[in-house]
Amino acid sequence: MEEIEASYYYALSHELRRKIITIIGENDFTSFTHLKKELKVSTGTIYHHLDTLSQLISQKKNKKYYLTELGQHAYNSLKENIETIESPDLSSQEFNSPLLKALMALTPKSYFAFEEDDKPYVIILSAIVLLLGAILCGLNGLFPLLLFFGQATEDLQALPIEIHVVLALSFVFNVFVYFLLTEVLSRLFFRKKENTLQLFYSFGIIFYPMVFYLIVHFLFVSFQILQFGAILVLDRILMIFFQVWSLWLMTYNLSMTKGVKIENGLTITLLLHYGAFTVLLFMAF
C-alpha cells in the first residue's frame, strides 16, 4: 500500500503527467495521436510518462488509453485542487527546514527530472563533470572511493605520469561502481526497477560538488600550504561540506528518477557513504 501511495504521488509530481491524466479524464479516453497533438512533445517523452503512469492508466485492445480506478481518483484530486498535488516527500513539514531549502537552491532540478528532448544536455553535463573530476583526481594524486579521496603518495612530484593517468581513470570507474551499487540497493530494498537509464545519464552530475572540492584541494597543493594544520583542517571541512551536498543530490535524484521516498533515498546514500568510510578506516591500519 505504501509503495502504491508513493507511486501515485510521484506520478502526479510532474506537470506533463498531470496534463495526461486531465486529458484522459475530460474525454473518458484518448489516443496516442491526440496526446501528441495536445502535449506538443516528442514521442519518446510521451511513452516515458505513460510508462510512469502505468498504475493510473491502462491501454485497451482498441489502443485507447483509459484511467484506472486509481487514475480516476487522481483526476478527481486534480479537479479539486491541482496546485496541491506534489510529492509528499518534498512538501511535508519535516523537510521544510532551512538546510533543505538551501540544498534545494543548489540543486540542478531540471537535470534530474529531465524530458527526453533534454537528454543530450544531461549526458553532456555528466560527461563534463566526469572529465573534470578525472583530470583533477589525476593531478592531485588522489584515489577515489565513492565520495571519499585518499592520497596515493606523500611525494606528488615523484609520482610517475602513468600513475596519474590510472588515478584519473579510477575516478570514472568509481562513478560507474557507485551507480551500480545505488541501482542494486534501490532494487533490493525498495523494488525500484524503473528509469535505470535516466538515473545513469544523470548520475555523474551528483559529483559536481566534489569537483569544486578537488579544485580547492589542487590549489592548496599547488601553493604548498596543505602541510599547515589549519589548512589541512579546512581541507577536511570542505570535503565534508561538498560530500553532504553530493549526498543530497543523489537522494534527490533517486526521488525524481526512481520514485524513492526522501527518507528511503537517504538510507541508500548513507549506507553506501558509511560503508566507504569503514573501508577507508580498515585501509588506514
pLDDT tens digits along 160-188: 999 999 999 999 999 999 999 999 999 99
Least confident range from 22-31, 32-41, 97-106, 231-240: namely 97-106
Same domain, 47 and 109: no
Same domain, 263 and 155: yes
Counting other chains too, the contacts that 234-242 makes at CB distance below 8 Å and 24 or more residues apart are 238/213, 239/149, 239/213, 242/209, 242/210, 242/212, 242/213
Same domain, 12 and 113: no
Q: Would you say residue 176 lies in a domain?
A: yes
Domain count, the chain: 2
DSSP string, 40-92: ---HHHHHHHHHHTTTTEEE-TTS-EEE-HHHHHHHHHHHHHGGG-S-HHHHS
Domain end: 57, 86, 115, which one?
86
Counting Cβ atoms within 10 Å, is residue 214 exposed (0-12), middle (13-18) or buried (19+)? buried
Q: Would you say residue 149 lies in a domain?
A: yes
Least confident range from 31-45, 82-96, 126-140, 163-177: namely 82-96
> Would you say residue 92 has pLDDT above 50?
no
- pLDDT at position 191 is 86
Q: HSE on the CB side for 87, CA within 13 Å?
A: 23
249 in Cβ contact with 107 (< 8 Å): yes
Same domain, 33 and 102: no
Domain end: 32, 61, 86, which one?
86
Same domain, 17 and 62: yes
Q: Which residues contact 91 (CB under 8 A, 6 or more apart)?
A: none
Same domain, 113 and 79: no
Same domain, 214 and 77: no
**What is the residue range of 195's domain?**
98-284
Same domain, 171 and 279: yes
The more confident residue out of 136 and 112 is: 136
Same domain, 79 and 111: no
Residue type, 276: A
Task: Spell out the alpha helix ranges (H) of 151-228.
Answer: 161-190, 196-203, 208-222
Q: Using CA atoms, how far apart are residues 141 and 146, in angstroms rounded to an integer?
A: 16
Q: Would you say residue 93 lies in a domain?
A: no
Domain end: 45, 60, 86, which one?
86
Q: Would you say residue 104 lies in a domain?
A: yes
CATH of the domain at 69: 1.10.10.10
Same domain, 9 and 48: yes
pLDDT digits (tens, 9 = 90+) for 243-284: 999 999 999 899 888 878 888 899 999 999 999 999 988 887
Cell 553532504 locates to 244
Q: Would you say residue 92 lies in a domain?
A: no
75 in Cβ contact with 22 (< 8 Å): yes
Same domain, 70 and 110: no
Q: Would you say residue 155 lies in a domain?
A: yes
Q: Would you say residue 91 lies in a domain?
A: no
Same domain, 186 and 233: yes
Q: Would you say residue 28 lies in a domain?
A: yes
